[in-house]
Amino acid sequence: MITIALPKGALLKDSIRMLQAVGLDFSAFLDSANRQLQIEDTTGTAKALLVRTQDVPVYVEYGQAQLGIVGYDVLREKNPAVAHLADLRFGTCRLSVAVKATSPYRSSLDLPPHGRVASKFVHCAREYFNNLDLPVEIIPLYGSVELGPITGMSEAIVDLVSTGRTLKENGLIEIDVLFESTARLIANPLSYRLNTSKLHHLVEQLHSLILSTV
């Protein structure tokens, strides 16, 4: 039986819809009354684990799940030992640098040397500013990152942006984009190589579905 790690949050609904299109139904996860974290498809060929987005690649890397669906942003931040199989073409967003709209900064290079940047994407932020050769202090925050510039704790933030509405409502603006992110299909390398539980067949079905929607 194939085990698939599914992410809680914004990617869940589209992930379930895509799997339904290839005959796997995990829609029980969308029922607010459901408290199960593991459910089996009615066909008996697959089961799914409902986990935090950041934990999806961990379950896949360590083999508790053969497949997983996760944002590219998480893969860039965590750099897990997993096989990257496909861009699923949903969950589009971007990792951006943002500042207070009233600040004088209009690009990352305008930020002061040794200034402070708040982010939950510590690795990505550090890599980005290192590539700019701009020394900054990265402040790890895992809640409302927007409060960094609002409270004066940081000059800027690095965070995911979809519509930009949250930034606007908090008086922030984007000044640079690190990279675009979409949902990705990943696999445990050993399971994929050994074609565990006919894994390749399911992956081929998903590939065909993606191509049919282009």
**Residue 140: per-residue pLDDT:** 97
Pairing state between β 2-7 and 67-71: parallel
The secondary element (H helix, E strand) that includes residue 128 is helix 122-131
Enumerate residue ranges in the chain where pLDDT < 50: none
**Residue 214: per-residue pLDDT:** 64
Residue 208's contacts (CB-CB under 8 Å, 6 or more residues apart) are none
The secondary element (H helix, E strand) that includes residue 200 is helix 199-212
CB atoms within 10 A of CB 128: 22
- Please, what are the domains in the chain? 2-91+182-212 (3.40.190.10), 93-180 (3.40.190.10)
Q: Which residue has the tokens 């990279």?
A: 179
- The 3-state DSSP composition of the chain as helix, strand, coil percent (nearest 5) reads 35, 30, 35
**Residue 34: per-residue pLDDT:** 86
